[in-house]
Amino acid sequence: MDKNLKHISKAIREGNLLEVNIPQLFNQLADQYNVYSGVRLAMHYFAFYETYCDDENTWSKEALEITAKLNKIIQSNILGNQIGTGREEAIKAIDFIRKDITQRMEALTAYTDIFQTYEYILNRQEYRFKEEFSVIDDEEFTKEILRYIFDTEDNVIINEKIKEMIGQLPVRITKQKYFELLKGSIHVYLGADVSSLDSYLYMLKTSAMLYQTATMESLYPNLWEKKERLSQVDYKNMTKEVFDQALTTLQAAALTIEIESIVYYSLQEIVNEVYSQLLCSPYAGMVPNDTEKAEKAVHAILVEINNYFINNEKHEVSEEQLEMFRDIEGVQEELAYDISILEDTLYEVNTNHRKLTESLMLEHLLQVLLYTKNLLSYSLFIDLEEDKLSETVVDEARIEKEMQVLEEELLTLFKDHDRLISRAVMANTINKIPVFFISHKEVMDYVLYSLERCTDLYEKEACYEIINQIMSD
């Protein structure tokens, strides 16, 4: 980071010459964001094109249509540098595409959790059709599991391994104990921002097949049909033929989800970077920088890949393309460091100097920078409004209300489905909550109890095989 950027950041944190330093901060950050998003766009656009060349025939019609729209925006508004009304229309268009992709990924996430529940069941039912079984010593197997969990002193790794094992062990806790664990995990959010609790509840509900978007069926009718088919299977009394049919249905659904998720994840990366370019380009170029060579390379890469897309051409990587990438090598890492420092200062301005920002008529630029910060964050599907300050925190009443709703929804689900599905849902949710054991012995007692209380030899054999596979990987 050069001395000028350090000086600006330090001055703002100390409250010095804010009328001068805040505008300079905004100009610097807009410029950095513009170059940074351009470099990332070039890299992701090129990688996406390679994937397109290999897998286009497996993509859905909707994914191909979104790709075509995105290519036209890049052609007209990133490479064509439209201004005024054209740029505003492009921002609206890219925002619509982003929301569309986010909606599709939310549906795919919900479907993923639903089909994981049925996978959990089928993995255990599979052993009903096998002739040979292992002789399992519960105490010895418990010791093996504990050796696996505690073979490190890193508590983060230990906790992840505990949750991993809980998700595969037979579920033999009572519903009362299950709801106590859920309530305890929700109570952790007392005093936290409401948005963090909402995120946690969303994760729990998707894991429990409770979260279904209004557009799941219309966006993916084939997945919906497969979900309905699996929900109607009599798992307790299933034959080998029914098992094979259910497994085929599950595998087809998993393949669709995998293909769609990969495509939309890659598309969202590009969308966020194009969005960032559209937002920041009018404010870029106000300050001197040493990235001119990288910016030229970025432009050349984008022009070439965009032409390939527009003309429906498929080419191998050329030596000229590789040479252009050498010109942007290392630029992303250097900019990322500077941006991280400037974003800390941006947070300071957003938190403590909003009124001054308004008086300087920089409110719009501040919002542009906050949006861009989110667009270029590690969370591809983040709500762009997340940086809006909120004073709403979780209180006891909110916890009681949310827990009551969650319990009622789960009880209804348990009532409407057989025990195998209920246990699968319980397994898929308790391995998402924070670890609730306070000692090594409590972990051992839980594991041993789960194994000893499981009288279903097929389920126990399945758990034995699955857990052994996890421990040996």
Average pLDDT, the chain: 91
pLDDT-derived band of residue 429, with 50, 70 and 90 as boundaries? Answer: very high
Would the pLDDT of 113 be above 70? yes
Query: How far is C-alpha 349 from the geometric centre of its chain's CA atoms?
Result: 28
Would the pLDDT of 1 be above 60? no
Would the pLDDT of 154 be above 90? yes
Q: For residue 383, what pLDDT is reported?
A: 86
Mean pLDDT for 170-182 is: 92
Q: What is the pLDDT of residues 241-295, one digit of tens each?
A: 999 999 999 999 999 999 999 999 999 999 999 999 999 988 887 776 778 889 9
Question: Where exactly are the structural domains of the chain?
Answer: 3-106+260-375
Q: What is the pLDDT of residues 347-378, one digit of tens each?
A: 999 989 989 999 999 999 999 999 999 999 98
Q: Which two tokens stand for residue 28?
A: 């610097």
Q: What is the pTM of this model?
A: 0.88
Would the pLDDT of 315 be above 90? no
Mean pLDDT for 417-440 is: 91
Q: For residue 181, what pLDDT is reported?
A: 94
Q: What is the pLDDT of residues 10-39, one digit of tens each?
A: 899 888 899 999 999 999 999 999 999 999
